[in-house]
């Protein structure tokens, strides 16, 4: 993000605990940004009540929307008192992800902040809000966990150290730019991580051990070399550069836990057609594997 000026905060209805608001306010104070508080207020008890007349249903809906607005004002009053610029928006929509995406398109935001929720892909392949936002949100999205942030911490940027396309290289750069800005804004230490695969399972029997050793050493050297170049460009020291063999989601989770990182910043490639709705992508698997705040930077396409 070039500069953090306007943050869209997704609030949860009927909840006094709003970690997304707490985290977004922390960032806004550090960056001098404003907050736009968004809530999708929908009650199925009203939405499916076909026995209500049009006027009666509208009255019920307006009552819920107005009550949600009062709730937002109460939750945000202390931040307004501290000098933060805060606006709010409440909509009635049974599809939260679609409502949030509409708000993103309508406003000029630099970041979307939402509370992360564990999900079960078999049950939520088409309708889980986090899943849809990771796929389609046009802005970087920060999915936050419960708990407090430390005032001194680490930001871990996860990249592909062996990109095979220009799009992947651009995504690497976008991830590092976002992570670098976040680290500098909060005065956190920036770390860089990349995973690389283990040797192939199958090799000629007579040379299997040697082939695996050669593969491992050459792969490690290639990834470390690429990672070192990226690290130098963003002024990241050798102690903060991590090239680790293993599955991507496991590696990122392991390194983030070792560092006790406050943030993991990673890219998510947008895809079309069937590939676009596939489950088990790196970003989605990693979101479930780690227990920290995740900033998702979506791949962009030239117009």
What token pair was written down for 212? Answer: 């695996």
Claim to verify: residue 250 and residue 161 sit in the same structural domain: yes
More confident residue, 270 or 101: 101
Claim to verify: residue 276 and residue 201 sit in the same structural domain: yes
More confident residue, 95 or 6: 6
Q: Report which of 251, 232, 250, 253 is spatially closest to residue 241, judged by C-alpha positions.
A: 232
Strands 34-40 and 86-91: parallel
14 conformational bin, left if phi > 0, alpha if psi -120 to 50, beta if neither: left
Mean pLDDT value across residues 134-161: 86
In this prediction, residue 43 has a pLDDT band, given cuts at 50, 70 and 90, of: confident
Residue labelled with tokens 């670098």: 180
Domain boundary among 122, 146, 170: 146
Claim to verify: residue 138 and residue 169 sit in the same structural domain: no
Mean pLDDT value across residues 60-71: 88
Claim to verify: residue 46 and residue 61 sit in the same structural domain: yes
Domain boundary among 114, 146, 178: 146
pLDDT tens column, 102-112: 999 998 999 99
Claim to verify: residue 210 and residue 263 sit in the same structural domain: yes
Q: What is the pLDDT of residue 112?
A: 96
**How far is the C-alpha of 110 from the C-alpha of 112, rounded, in Å?**
7
Domain boundary among 98, 122, 146: 146
Report the C-alpha dihedral over residues 255, 256, 260, 261, rounded to 10 degrees. Answer: 130
Claim to verify: residue 140 and residue 157 sit in the same structural domain: no
Residue 77 clears pLDDT 50, i.e. is over it:
yes
Range of the domain at 124: 1-146
274 conformational bin, left if phi > 0, alpha if psi -120 to 50, beta if neither: alpha
Q: What is the pLDDT of residue 275?
A: 36
Domains in the chain: how many in total? 2
Residues 180, 215: contact at Cβ < 8 Å?
no
Q: What is the mean pLDDT of the chain?
A: 83
Claim to verify: residue 137 and residue 205 sit in the same structural domain: no
In this prediction, residue 120 has a pLDDT band, given cuts at 50, 70 and 90, of: low
Other Cβ atoms within 10 Å of 239 Cβ, number: 8
CATH of the domain at 194: 3.40.50.12370
Q: What is the DSSP letter of 206?
A: G
Claim to verify: residue 133 and residue 49 sit in the same structural domain: yes
Residue 278 clears pLDDT 60, i.e. is over it:
no
Residues 300, 260: contact at Cβ < 8 Å?
no
Claim to verify: residue 53 and residue 134 sit in the same structural domain: yes
> What percentage of residues in the chain have a pLDDT greater than 90?
49
What DSSP element (H or E) covers 193? strand 189-196
Claim to verify: residue 28 and residue 135 sit in the same structural domain: yes
Claim to verify: residue 133 and residue 162 sit in the same structural domain: no
Residue 222 clears pLDDT 70, i.e. is over it:
yes
Claim to verify: residue 128 and residue 10 sit in the same structural domain: yes
Q: Which of 95-99, 102-106, 212-216, 272-276 has the lowest mean pLDDT?
A: 272-276
């Amino acid at each position: 993000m070039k500069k953090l000026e306007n943050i869209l905060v997704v609030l949860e209805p009927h909840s006094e605990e709003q970690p997304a608001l707490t985290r977004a306010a922390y960032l806004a104070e550090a960056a001098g940004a404003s907050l736009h508080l968004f809530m999708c207020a929908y009650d199925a008890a009203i939405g499916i009540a076909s026995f209500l007349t049009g006027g009666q249903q509208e009255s019920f809906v307006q009552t819920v929307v107005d009550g949600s607005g009062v709730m937002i004002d109460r939750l945000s009053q202390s931040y307004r008192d501290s000098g933060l610029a805060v606006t709010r928006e409440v909509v009635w929509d049974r599809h939260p992800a679609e409502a949030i995406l509409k708000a993103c398109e309508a406003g000029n935001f630099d970041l979307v902040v939402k509370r992360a929720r564990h999900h079960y892909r078999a049950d939520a392949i088409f309708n889980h809000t986090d899943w849809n936002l990771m796929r389609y949100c046009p802005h970087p999205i920060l999915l936050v966990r419960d708990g407090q942030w430390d005032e001194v911490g680490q930001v871990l940027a996860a990249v592909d150290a062996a990109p095979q396309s220009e799009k992947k290289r651009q995504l690497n750069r976008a991830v590092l730019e976002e992570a670098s800005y976040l680290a500098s804004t909060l005065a956190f230490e920036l770390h860089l991580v990349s995973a690389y695969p283990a040797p192939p399972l199958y090799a000629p029997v007579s040379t299997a051990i040697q082939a695996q050793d050669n593969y491992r050493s050459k792969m490690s050297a290639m990834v470390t070399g690429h990672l070192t170049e990226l690290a130098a460009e963003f002024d990241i020291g050798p102690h903060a550069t991590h090239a680790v063999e293993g599955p991507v989601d496991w590696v990122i989770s392991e390194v983030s836990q070792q560092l006790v990182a406050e943030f993991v910043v990673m890219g998510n490639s947008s895809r079309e057609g069937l590939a676009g709705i596939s489950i088990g992508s790196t970003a989605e698997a990693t979101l479930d594997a780690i227990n920290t705040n995740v900033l998702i930077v979506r791949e962009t396409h030239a117009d």
